[in-house]
Amino acid sequence: MSASHLKERVRLVWRDMKKYKHAYVLLAPYFIIFLTFTAFPVLMSVALSFTNFNMLQSPEWVGWSNYAKLFVNDDIFLISLKNTLLFAAITGPISYMACFLFAWLVNELPPKIRAIMTLILYAPSISGNTYLIWQLIFSGDSYGFANSFLMNWGFSLEPIQWLQDTKYMLVILMIVQLWLSLGTAFLAFIAGLQNVDPTLYEAGAIDGVRNRWQELWFITLPAMRPQLLFGAVIQIASSFAVAEISMNLVGFPSVDYAANTIVTHLIDYGTIRFEMGYSSAIATVLFAIMLLTNLITQRLLRKVGE
């Protein structure tokens, strides 16, 4: 591009910027806060991932060595990576579809029943320490709900150590995660369904939409694409960032690291060993994985209703 060309472009952009100055005024308060409390810490953390920082001495530049150590020298990270990917691959899509399916079913109900039903489905996300009830269900002795059920019905002879046995841990975590997953995206979908213009359905019926499934695919889903994209980002983030339920249910660290995830690994290095540089590198890797997954998902979602 020649210099005069560039100058011309800058002039045009500048003209537009002046024309839309009210847009920047509306944006300013949010972005000042966003940059201070979100963007800046994120950038700083990415920068720290190339250093050796223990919170006491000033950071020392080490280049890619944190990343090299992660993939070559850290067996537990590789277990965590495998766990997280497996976990996300199963709970991510299922929870996303469940969010939509239940939002859609609830939306068909008359207002009063709908409000009650929404509350009940959303309940696990509201009530703070819901892990308690799962600890009772999967308690390791014969009094735990799951064990007493299996033993009473003769499926097993002795209690199973659900939360200590490496065979079951990850599966139980997945069940609990799915149960907790009707959260943010679920509510956003409900609100989104309310926004779909009812005349579209009438028009659809005239144009030959024959049943509710066609209606769903050709009218409802395309009309709420913005919410679907939003939900995807949220569900992907929550299925990759799982940590708290793991730490609460199966302990931290879990037996043989069988339920270690990328985030618990990160917490280990960040808040126990105070190796901030290394834990920042873990976060950056997780970020890259999520980003890639999101790009793929967003591309798939654009095909909805075609």
Partner 1 sequence: MKAIFHIRKRINRSWLVDMLLFFLLCGVACFMGLPLVFTISNAFKPIDEIFLFPPRLLVHHPTWNNFFALKDIFADSWVPFSRYVFNTFFIAIIGTVGHVIIASAAAYPLAKIKFPGHKILFHIVVLSLMFTAYVTQVPNYMTITWLGLINTYWAVILPAFGMTLGLYLMKQFMEQIPDSLLEAARIDGASEYRTFWQTVMPIVRPAWLTLIIFSIQGLWTSGAVSHKFIYSEQLKTVDYVFGQVASGGLVRTGPVAAITLLMMIVPITVFIVSQSNIIQTMSTSGLKE
Stretch that binds partner 1, among 38-46, 83-91, 150-158, 163-171 (CB under 8 A): 38-46
Query: For residues 144-172, b (16+ Cβ closer than 10 Å) or e, as one string?
Result: bebbeebbeeeeeeebbbbbeeeebbbeb
Site for partner 1 in 65-94 (CB under 8 A): none
- Determine if 52 is a binding residue for partner 1 (CB under 8 A): no
Stretch that binds partner 1, among 56-64, 163-171, 247-255, 277-285 (CB under 8 A): 277-285
Report which of 163, 184, 270, 277 is spatially closest to residue 231, judged by C-alpha positions: 184
- Determine if 60 is a binding residue for partner 1 (CB under 8 A): no
- Determine if 29 is a binding residue for partner 1 (CB under 8 A): yes
Bridge partners for 60 per DSSP? 52
- Determine if 129 is a binding residue for partner 1 (CB under 8 A): yes
SS3 252: coil
Q: Which of 52, 54, 65, 130 contacts partner 1 by CB under 8 A?
A: 130
Site for partner 1 in 192-211 (CB under 8 A): 192, 194-195, 197-199, 201-202, 205, 209-211
- Determine if 149 is a binding residue for partner 1 (CB under 8 A): no
Q: Which of 6, 13, 76, 272 contacts partner 1 by CB under 8 A?
A: 13
Q: Where are the alpha helices (DSSP H) in the chain?
A: 3-19, 21-34, 40-48, 65-68, 75-107, 111-126, 131-137, 145-152, 169-180, 184-195, 198-206, 212-215, 221-223, 225-240, 244-250, 262-267, 276-301
Stretch that binds partner 1, among 60-68, 75-83, 118-126, 245-253 (CB under 8 A): 118-126
- Determine if 241 is a binding residue for partner 1 (CB under 8 A): yes
